[in-house]
Chain A
């Protein structure tokens, strides 16, 4: 089973109650599977949207993107830089 590191930022970190979590997902898996798994296993993460912005290994991806063992998957609130 692929193990991925999930990162939460800003408001999502406050909702999740943590900034990161280690999650195991079935193989093959997509970012959408990671969202589902996180919502099941991280108590505060149930408050996250069903379809958050996401990134794998520093690049924004669609929720249908595949995840691999060791990937860093980040969930990003709507960005507000500048």
Chain B
């Protein structure tokens, strides 16, 4: 099995190739991108670390659930690990289905399951040289040099 995790920028075209087919007329793409907005304080990049084997197993389980729930849907996912600069995608999900409703629903289901279940953690790197682990509510929990 190839891994759903990658240390390189996500190649969207190859993900699309994995899911598209003549019977699937709607494709939904979700990209999660590293952000430095008003809620962050000078984030330059985020380092993603994972329990690789469990993350891959959990992604397989999530994708299988989606395929069982929506007939004819095919979903592919890549999640970055390592340091990802602001502006680059940390995750891409593509869902293709016979019609758009199932594609949107499956894509939404998968990103929400990812947020709840994937053993992946992120550490913010800031412009002032500090770092902080990010907790699921989005607040940093521990600071370091």
Q: Interface size (A, Cβ < 8 Å)?
A: 17
Report the minimal beta-carbon distance from A15 to chain B, rounded to whole angstroms. Answer: 9
Please tell me which stretch of A21-29, A32-40, A63-71, A74-82 contacts chain B, meaning at least 4 of its Cβ atoms lie within 8 angstroms of it. A74-82
Contact yes or no, B51 A80, CB < 8 A: no
* Closest chain A residue to B123, Cβ basis: A10
Q: Which residues of B contact A79 (CB under 8 A)?
A: 115-121, 136
Indicate if B32 sits at the interface (CB-CB under 8 A): yes
Q: Which of B50, B53, B90 contacts A58 (CB 8 A)?
A: B53
Contact yes or no, A81 B133, CB < 8 A: no
Indicate if B69 sits at the interface (CB-CB under 8 A): no
Residue positions of B touching A, CB distance < 8 A:
32, 48-51, 53-55, 57-58, 79, 90-91, 111, 114-123, 133-136, 141-142
